[in-house]
Amino acid sequence: MRKAVLVTGASSGVGLALCKRLLEEDHELHLCLACRNRSKAEAVRAALLASHPLAEVSIVQVDVSDLQSVFRASQELRQRFQRLDYVYLNAGIMPNPQLNIKALFSGLFSRKVIHMFSTAEGLLTQEDQITADGLQEVFETNVFGHFILIQELAPLLCHSDSPSQLIWTSSRNARKSNFCLEDIQHSRGQEPYSSSKYAVDLLSVAVNRNFNSRGLYSSVVCPGTMVTNMTCGILPPFVWTLLMPIIWLLRFFANAFTLTPYNGTEALVWLFHQKPESLNPLTKYLSATTGFGSNYVMTQKYPEEEILGNSILS
């Protein structure tokens, strides 16, 4: 029987690179592209089938920043599938990212310069907005829309005889310092992306606590620092051109600079081959690239008292 894989945000960036690599790993997959823009999804589907004619590639239109869209897509998926083996919760946004120049120059002359560039900690602020559902856009897109999606798809995911796996795209930029339970949507802060990714980390642990006994397992991945549609807008194109030689050099000191979506999918593809019940629920899996361009997977253990002591898991 074909394995069924659902990928949100599959029409560009990490999601598109992931779809290509998954079909290279198993050319008989049933791959379902969950995308906002149907015309883009159709073009991606045609390209994937041209290179992998034995695969089955379908489309479901969904905007995870719109709950009605999530409910409609979930109903459609329940009608189409009997089960889903993997769900890659990859769609996400970082709206209007602004570079904090003061933090940049301060960090350049500190001992944390490599860490700063690897994680963008303190470097980026974003301007969030309210969705039609009355929620902060970053929180709804990166966290809540996906949470509702997996709740609605529980009948396809919970099979004790053969486990299913959720794989969330998180970030090294996920910071406890930017997350607050009293302001879980980060409506009063300036780093909603970091806050949302920390919430994803917590939510993955909560899923494992509540659903492992029903055959559903959850893991979190960071694809590393890449040049994608999400990050290109941070700086003008000519600045990226000037920075690229420096970034390539930094790869000899910091493995987070995966640079391309293909490299960034390394940990996501690695998880595709693992038995989910054997994975540590308190571990984040990181795509990494050496200075010479070789890809590999690293692990990062969550501080147990920090994660398990958080009441979002109750």
Catalytic, 217? Answer no
- Distance CA(5)–CA(148), nearest Å, equals 18
Catalytic one of 193, 198, 217, 285: 193
Q: CA torsion sign, 207 to 270 to 223 to 178?
A: positive
CA 190 → CA 105, 119, 177, distances in Å? Answer: 19, 16, 12
Q: Is 99 exposed, middle or buried (0-12, 13-18, 19+ CB in 10 A)?
A: middle
- Distance CA(139)–CA(117), nearest Å, equals 24
CB 129 within 8 A of CB 121: no
Residue 142 DSSP class: I
Element (DSSP H or E) covering residue 58: strand 56-61
CB-CB neighbours of 162 under 10 Å: 8
- The tokens for 3 are 């394995």
Runs of H (alpha helix) within the chain: 13-25, 38-51, 67-80, 101-108, 113-119, 137-139, 145-152, 154-157, 192-211, 229-232, 237-250, 261-264, 266-272, 304-308
Q: Give catalytic residues, as residue numbers.
A: 193
